Structures are given as structure tokens and as C-alpha cells.
Amino acid sequence: MELKEYLETGLSQETVKNYLYEIEKFNRHYRNPEQLSYQNLMEYVELLRKNYNPQSVKRTIYAIKKYYDYLVETGKTEINTASNIKLKDGKENPVQLQELLTEKELQKLLEPRKERYPMLRKRNQIIMSLLVNQALLVGEIERLKIENLDLKNAKIKVQKTGITNERVLELKAEQILLFYQYLQEERTALERQESSFFLLNKLGSGITKDDINYLVSTYQKDFTKKLTSVKIRQSVIKLKLDDGENLRKVQYFAGHKHADTTEKYRETGINALQTAINQFHPIK
């Protein structure tokens, strides 16, 4: 199996492209990756840290870990030498909890509105519902296929990405009817040629991340806080923890690969006080 083919199983095209770039760069530095030790890899990490920001370093390590999964899968090495690499880079940049949306503000995003293109009304409602109810990433929404829907059992299967795990999430009752109506009406009218993607754009092709982010931006005029798909997702995760939901359940819901990623959304009493101070009495 070729590396590109291996990566395309479960990863978006954009992620595959980025991973291939990082792996090629890694292979130019090390000619025999299967012979490298953990120490060799950590030396490479230090080299990356000198030239890139923490988030870029982490993305590169995700790519290298996936590369070693491939080497093990194809029998080129017995051990994933990169599997034990754990980075704390970037943890000094926590989620700005005081800037997130309230439950009332999130519900406002679900209210029906007049659309420029009436044929996209239900599709747009579905996108906003997936952001607010399931806290999906735009890349996860983009890749949804009809086969991922189980309307009979009110479930939706979310494929894994480079930063999230695969998971099966529950649909709200109102989503089931909305999804069904869209499949029977709008999607049938939009589809120009057979497609497995659930959500289509007005040209009949699969929806893109840019389409989704543009849709979110059209709601900005009704909000004073900066509105993005990421902020919606972060707000939903935080509210679940605030409501007392189990950390592991929220981790699964969000698709986080590590519990500490979910933990950063949880406020201690002191954090909550600081959030209130920042929100209602900001220092000018």
C-alpha cells in the first residue's frame, strides 16, 4: 500500500496534503527513518522548535506519528518509535473562556431566518445545528456522507481527522425531521450528479470548509462577540462541562484524543471568578 493511499483512509484531502509535505521534509532529513531511535526523533523535535511555532510543531509530530503507523502497517519496522512523543508545546495559550458564547447565544444560531437562496435554507439549518448540537469541526461537516447517518436510531457517525477521533453521536429530535426533509427535497434538487456527500452547495458539489465558514460569518451582525465555527465548538464543550457532564464523556463527544485537551475547558472557582471579572469589568 502506498503512503498516500494509507493516509487517505480516514483523513481529509487537506490533511493528507499537509502530512505528505511534513513526511517528505522529515525523510530529507533522515534517509532511514525505520532505523531511528526515540532520541533521534526528539532531536528532530528540538530542531522544529527552533524554526516553528508550537502549533506547527505539534502538527508535524502528528504527521510523523501517522507515518510510523504506516511503516509498522507495511512491515518496514516493528515499533512505532514516534508513539511515545508527548509535547506540551502551546499549552500556555489556553482557551479564552470569557470570550465564549452563552447557551442563549448558541440557541440564537438555531433560529430560522430568511435565506438569500431559499433552496439552501434547510441545508444551512443543518450546518448550524451540527455546530451547535454536536460541536463538529468544519472539516468533519464537510466530509459527512449519507452513509454516516442513521436517522432511524437518531445517530450520526463522525469520521476521524488528524486531530479528532471517530465517534458516534446522538441527534436531536428536531434534527431528524430536518435531515429527512433535506434529503427528500433540497438535496434531491441540488444534486447534479450522483454524490455520496450529505451536504451539497448550490452547484451540486460537496460543501467545503469555506462554504461553512462563510455561512457562520453571515450571523456575525447579530453578535457583539467575534463569531467563528471554532468558538461555537469551544462554547458547546465548555457548557457541557459547566453542566457537570463527565469529563470522559465530553472528551468522547468532542473527539479529543487526550483528556487534557478537554480539561482546559473546565473552570475552577478561581477561573470562573476571573472570567466574570474579565467579562464584566475589563481593565481598559
Percentage of the chain lying above the pLDDT 70 cut: 90
- Number of Cα atoms under 13 Å in the Cβ half of residue 46: 6
Highest-pLDDT range among 60-69, 98-107, 174-183, 271-280: 174-183
Query: Quick one: pLDDT at residue 95?
Result: 64
Average pLDDT of the residues in 137-161: 95
pTM: 0.66
Of residues 233, 257, 11, the one with CA closest to residue 143: 11
Average pLDDT of the residues in 34-45: 88
Average pLDDT of the residues in 175-192: 94
For residue 145, what are the β-bridge partners?
197
- Indicate left, alpha or beta for 242 from its phi (over 0: left) and psi (-120 to 50: alpha): alpha
Distance between CA atoms of 24 and 18, rounded to whole angstroms?
A: 10
Of residues 241, 263, 255, the one with CA closest to residue 169: 255
Per the CB < 8 A criterion, the answer to whether 144 and 161 are in contact is: no
Query: Quick one: pLDDT at residue 97?
Result: 66
Query: Quick one: pLDDT at residue 94?
Result: 56
Distance between CA atoms of 183 and 21, rounded to whole angstroms?
A: 37
| Interval 68-125: pLDDT, tens | 999 998 998 888 888 888 776 554 445 666 678 999 999 999 998 988 889 999 999 9
pLDDT over threshold 80, residue 58: yes
Q: What is the pLDDT confidence band of residue 267, given thresholds at 50, 70 and 90?
A: low
Structural domains in the chain, sorted by start: 3-73 (1.10.150), 97-279 (1.10.443.10)
Distance between CA atoms of 276 and 208, rounded to whole angstroms?
A: 37
